[in-house]
Amino acid sequence: MESIFNPTEEMKRKFNITDEMLKYADNACLCPYCFGVFKPFTVTFRIAPESVCGAMRYETLMSEEKATAEPYRERRDTQYEEFWKRFPGSEPSDEESRAMVKRPVMHMLLPGHLRGQFVSDNEGFPIGMVDEKGNRSDARVCPHCHNRLPLNFGKYPVKYIALVGITSSGKTVYLSQLFKNLYMNLNDIGYIQVDGIDEVEEFCRANLIRKGKKLPAGNAPDKLTLPVAVTIQNKETREIHTLIFYDIAGENCVNSEQMKKYGPFIVNSDGIIMIVDPSQFPELLDGQEESEEEAAYPGKVIQAMYRAFVAAKSIKGQSDVPMAVALSKSDLLRPYFANRNRNSNIFRNINYKEYGRKGFPYNDYLNITMETRMLLEQERSGKAFVDAVKNGFGKSDFFAFSALNVKPVAKKEEENGSVYYIIEEDPEVLRIEEPFNWILYQLGMLEKVDKNKPEEALDRPKGRGLFRLLKNSK
C-alpha cells in the first residue's frame, strides 16, 4: 500500500490533497479515548446524514439499487461498541450521538471503507471530507475506536490533564468551578480560550454549582466521564494548544485492578491534579464534625497509581509527570489557624494586578506551596503522605483551594432517604486556578513572573502563616 504521506500526483487529484495539507502530515497524536496513534491523513469521517440510507428505505430498494446503496447503509459500528463495552453505562446517550454512530465511515486507505475528497481550512489542515454523493461531513472520528474527535484535534500540540482523587474529595465540583471561571483566569495569565466553549458550558450545566441547588454527586463507580477538550492561545506568542481534561472516578483511583482499565488516562497525561480532602487528615479539622463517610487515606491513590504505571515505566520508581497536589475545601481550615492565632495565605486570592506582566504568578506560588506542604507535615499522616508523593513524583507541589468557600448542608431525599448536599450561600472560589496554572508552567506554556516590587512581595510573608515558620527555622 502506497503511503499517503508521500502521495503521487494522481492521489493528490483524487483525494484533493494540497501542498498546504502536507505540512500537517506528520502531526501524530493520541486519541483522547483509546490513545491509539493517528495522523491527519489516517483519520476517518462519518458520512453526512444526507448520504445515509436508513434501514426502512433500504428495504424498499430494488436489488440493483441495494448494491449501490449498501456502502451508505446504516450499520452497527463494532469498533465503537468494543470500546464502550469496557465502560458500561458511559457511552454518550444523547439522540445526536446515537444517530451519528450508525453512519458509515470514510477512509482513503483502509479496505472496505467509503472514499472521499478532503476539505481543508484556510491553513491547509484537513477538517472534512466530501463523499461520493457530494455531501460534506465534518465529523472526524478516531480510526481505531471511532469516537468523535474534538474540532481541529491534531492541528495544534495536545496536552492531557487528569484529575484524580477519592470519592467526595471535590474533583467534579472543582472542575466545574474551574471551567466556569476559566475564561477570566486565562486572561489573567495571558491566554484566551479559542475553542471548546460549548463543551465547557455543557459540563458546567451538567454539574451546576448554585445556591439552593443540589451539588454534583461525583462520578459513579466504574463510569468513564467524557473527556473535555479546550483550545487556548497565548496572546503574546500566538501559540495554540489543545487541552484534554479527564475526571477519574474516586473508586477507580484506590482499586489497583480498576487502575489497569483507567490507568491509560493517567499514564498518557502530561499533567496530573490530585485532589485531597482535609477529612483525609482529621487532625487538620481541629475537632470539627467530620463527614458520615470514612475518608480513604490518600496514600491509597498514590499506591494505586504507582502499581499501575510508575513502577513499570519510570526510572528508579519515580514518575517525571508533573503532579499538583491540591487540598480542597480550604475554608474548613479556618478554625485550625484561628485556634493557633495564625494568619494564612491560603485564604487570600491571587492579586494579579500586583504583577508586572502576564504569566505564572511566582511569588504567590512560593507562598502557597511552602505553606500547604508545611501544614500537611505538621501531622504524622500528612508527613507520610507528602513523603509518598515526593517519592513517586519528582515534579510535584502542594496547593490549597476552595471551590465553594461555604460549607455544604446535608439533606435527605424524602422518597429513599439518600443524602445529598446543597449550599445556602452564593459560592465563591478561592485560589482554584493555581494548581492548573502550575501545570501549564511545568509544561512550558507559562513563564514565571514576579510582582512589581519583588523585594516587598517576598518580605511580606515573614510575619504571616506557616511560611514565617519556615523562614525562621532556617
Domain ranges of the chain: 9-141, 158-473
Q: Tell me which amino acid residue 182 is.
A: L
Instruction: Find, among 236, 178, 189, the residue nearest to 361 by Cα.
Output: 189
Decide: helix, strand or coil at residue 379: coil
pLDDT tens-digit readout, 22-67: 999 888 989 999 999 998 888 899 999 999 998 888 888 888 888 8
Total residues belonging to the chain: 474
Average pLDDT of the segment spanning 394-423: 89
Lowest mean pLDDT among 110-119, 190-199, 366-375, 430-439: 110-119
In this predicted structure, the answer to whether residue 453 has a pLDDT above a threshold of 80 is no
Average pLDDT of the chain, as a whole number: 86
Q: Give me the torsion for CA of 243, 217, 403, 408, rounded to 10°.
A: 180
**DSSP state string for 133-151:** TS-EE--EE-TTT-PBPPT
pLDDT of residue 467: 44
- In the prediction, which pLDDT does 415 show? 79
227, 142 Cβ separation under 8 angstroms? no
φ/ψ region of 351 (left if φ > 0, alpha if ψ in -120 to 50, else beta) reads beta
- Per-range mean pLDDT, top range of 107-116, 228-237, 276-285, 314-323: 228-237
Q: Which amino acid is at 445?
A: M
Position 251 scores a pLDDT of 72
Give strand pairing partners of 464. Answer: none
- Give the C-alpha separation, 446 to 438, whole Å: 8
- Residue 45 CA to residue 42 CA, distance in Å, equals 10
> At 287, is the pLDDT very low, low, confident or very high (cuts 50, 70, 90)?
low
- The CATH classification of domain 158-473, taken from the options 3.20.20.105, 3.40.50.300, 3.20.20.70, 1.10.3720.10: 3.40.50.300
pLDDT > 60? residue 471: no
Confidence (pTM): 0.89
Q: Are 321 and 269 in contact (CB under 8 A)?
A: yes
Quickly state the pLDDT bin for 238 (edges 50, 70, 90): very high
End-to-end CA gap in the chain? 67
**The pLDDT of residue 455:** 53
**Average pLDDT in the 5-23 region?**
87
How much is the average pLDDT of 247-258?
A: 75
Residue 341 pLDDT: 67
- Residue 60 CB neighbours (<10 A): 8
Q: Which amino acid is at 258?
A: Q
Strands 419-422 and 409-412: antiparallel
Cell numbers given for 175: 472542575
Give 472's pLDDT tier (boundaries 50, 70, 90).
very low
Reported as a single tens digit per residue, the pLDDT across 103-146 is 999 987 777 778 889 999 999 999 999 998 999 999 999 999 99
Kindly tell me if the per-residue pLDDT of 468 is higher than 50.
no
Burial per residue of 333-370, b for 16 or more beta-carbon CB atoms within 10 angstroms, e otherwise: beebbeeeeeebbbbeebeeeebeebbbbbbbbbbbbb
Distance CA 169, CA 247 (A): 12
What band does 391 get if pLDDT is binned at 50, 70 and 90?
confident
Please report the pLDDT score of residue 64 as a whole number: 84
> What is the per-residue pLDDT for 4?
53
Residue 346 three-state SS:
helix
**CA distance to 149, 202, 364, per residue, from 194 (Å):** 17, 16, 27
Nearest alpha-carbon partner for 314 in 267, 271, 270: 267
At residue 5, the pLDDT reads 65
User: Which DSSP category does 226 fall into?
Assistant: P
Distance of CA 1 to the CA centre of its chain: 37
What CA–CA distances, in Å, run from 83 to 33, 147, 424? Answer: 9, 9, 41
- Give 169's pLDDT tier (boundaries 50, 70, 90): confident
Phi-psi region of 242 (alpha: psi -120 to 50; beta: other; left: phi over 0): beta
Contact (CB, 8 A) for 147 and 141: yes
What is the band of 465 on the pLDDT scale with cuts at 50, 70, 90? Answer: very low
Query: Residue 3 has what pLDDT?
Result: 45
Locate the DSSP E strands across 329-466.
360-361, 396-400, 409-412, 419-422, 448-449
Q: How confident is the model at residue 311 (pLDDT cuts 50, 70, 90)?
A: low
How much is the pLDDT for 289? 54
Whether 269 and 323 have beta carbons less than 8 Å apart is answered as no
From CA 190, how far away is CA 357, in angstroms rounded?
8
DSSP 8-state secondary structure symbol assigned to residue 71: G
174 touches 163 (CB < 8 A)? yes
Measured N-to-C along each axis, helices 465-473 and 362-377 cross at an angle, to the nearest 10 degrees, of: 80
For residues 2-16, give the mean pLDDT: 77
- In the numeric block, the cell 486572561 is attached to 187
pLDDT for residue 291 is more than 60: no
User: Regarding beta strands 158-164 and 191-195, do their DSSP bridges make them parallel or antiparallel, or are they unpaired?
Assistant: unpaired
Rounded mean pLDDT, 261-267: 86
pLDDT digits (tens, 9 = 90+) for 343-384: 889 999 999 999 989 999 999 999 999 999 999 998 888 898
**Structure confidence by residue, pLDDT tens digits, 59-98:** 888 888 888 888 899 999 999 999 999 998 899 988 889 9
At residue 423, does pLDDT exceed 70?
yes
Q: Band of the pLDDT at 312, cuts 50, 70, 90?
A: low
